[in-house]
Structure 1
Amino acid sequence: MPASLKEVKRRIDSTKRTQQITRAMQMVSTAKLSQIQKHTASYQTYASKIRSVITHLAKSHLLNGVATGGTVTDGQVSTLGMLKQRPVEKIGIVVITSDRGLVGSYNSNVIKQTLDLINKVPKGKDGVVILAIGGTGADFFKKRGFEVGYEYRGVGDIPTFREVRPIVNSIVTMYNSGMYDELYVCYNHFVNTLTSAFRAEKMLPISAENMGDDDFNEPDAQGISADYETEPSQDAILEVILPQYAESLVYGAILDAKTAEHASSSTSMKSATDNADELISTLELQYNRARQSAITTEITEITGAQAALN
């Protein structure tokens, strides 16, 4: 076999092996997407209820009363510090990315949009602390000289609520210690299998302004009285409900981001598999033409030699 035919044959075999890998990865990502969508659907019920409770408290002005009433003293490590408004000197940004590649434009979209958000901060990157969930984002911002105050790698393909609790505890502790004065969560929101949309949501401090008008237009939010009678106390209730609300925000964002990651991975692997199909077809056509040309040349040489002998 001529050298050119051997090279084309080698490329065909190599592309077929790559196609087997991308097809397998597509199937795995599709299976993970299906699993996390079922998990997310059941979680949304809980998230909706906890958000409804906080909405009611905001509607009754209980949150604002605690935040401005002086019940949280400086230096006190308390979940009530999540309500405390203070002058914004530094902003914390939670960036949720993947730990690996082969997910299409998933990571680049989050990072690009987060950089656009940072450019709007008055002090630029000097006024920002990055809290990275996912190795891609952590490595990117470290290399570019950003202050990375926290990083978490190895989030499960189907994240559990238990995974989120230490993340939330670290985030709230840093907020209460004054490392930053506002906190935003940046991630890709899953729209459908082919589409995701960047979101930047304000997480801390918790206030009625964070929730938007839609939360107060829900049926459950109608007809709420201005005051609550609480037992044992307002502070005791908020100490329990605020961490759950923060956990639900972060966990919901991670679930949403992971869903978008699996969808992006499935789509990119399908594209890679389809591209491999096209490349194999092109190479096989090239191989057949080269082989046909070689055979024709051999026949011509044999015929010519026979004619010379005669």
Structure 2
Amino acid sequence: MAVLVTNNAWGELAASVTATTPLLTLKSGQGERFPTAVEGTSWFYVTLVDEQNNLEIVKCTARTSDSLTVVRGADNTERHAFNTGSRVELRPCAALFNDKLSHDEWESARDALKTDFTNTMAETTKTITATVESMQSAMSNDYVTTAALDKALSEKDTANDEEFLSIADAKKTYLPLTGGTLSGALKIEDNAASGLTMRGGDLTISKKTVNNQSLGGNITAAGTIKGETIRSTSDRRLKTAIVPIQDAGKIIDKLKPVGFKWKSDGHASFGFIAQDVQLVIPEIVHGDERHGYAMEYNCIIPFLVAEVQRLRKEIEELKK
């Protein structure tokens, strides 16, 4: 954006204006003496003077023919009303020089930035080129070409390849009998349903933090999970925002215990429908329509205990 100037630009008001009128109309044909300002792109300053020597500087932000769109009271001048015939002159003013100086400083800073960017890009290009050349040199010493590898393999005796596995390939293909670490996913398929058996050891599944995101630590089973004891982590130090359960009875009244049979094997059981519980206690229902829903049955126990405690107190009061 730039401030505009021109020589011998003057005119007279074709109509009187108040102290707040944002549009000045010059006498016919006089608008061509002034620069063409475009809203949001360029502007110029004009001075209004009347017969009583009232003076006001305004900022013209757009000119269309003989009409000037202006901001009144510019450059710390007071707004006035002006009669028809008052002079409209493009005079030098402080605001003009200040805007011109700011524009020049901006262009100078832009040119300096261009120079710095060009120099930086040149240095970066040199560094990248040197790094690539160094990597190419290292690769020529550490790696074999495809042609040389094909030649070496064609000369190798492969008579026993189908019966024996090299030590290097065995380490990549099989886990050792003792110890060892597996990286990546492990899939076990067994048509005889013999499964995975562990003796004399514990199965520990822990979470892993990657990029500040906690991953893993879950067990998902399509069948039954059996064991002598199932323990839920419940340490106070791992919890926050602890509050007593209120109105447990109202929540319990809305739950719908049901009997049902599993579609997978026809086994009869009792419990709740996750979608029904989600309407009452959505915090303990997980999943979605696509993958199915599951719920934390243990979380219903606190509501039952809270309601039993309330009923015991009520019974004690009735006894009294």
Q: Same fold (TM over 0.5)?
A: no
Larger relative contact order, structure 1 or 2 (CA cutoff 8 Å, min sep 6): 1
Of Structure 1 and Structure 2, which has the larger fraction of its residues in strand?
A: 2
TM-score w.r.t. length of structure 2: 0.26
Q: Higher Cα Rg: structure 1 or 2?
A: 2
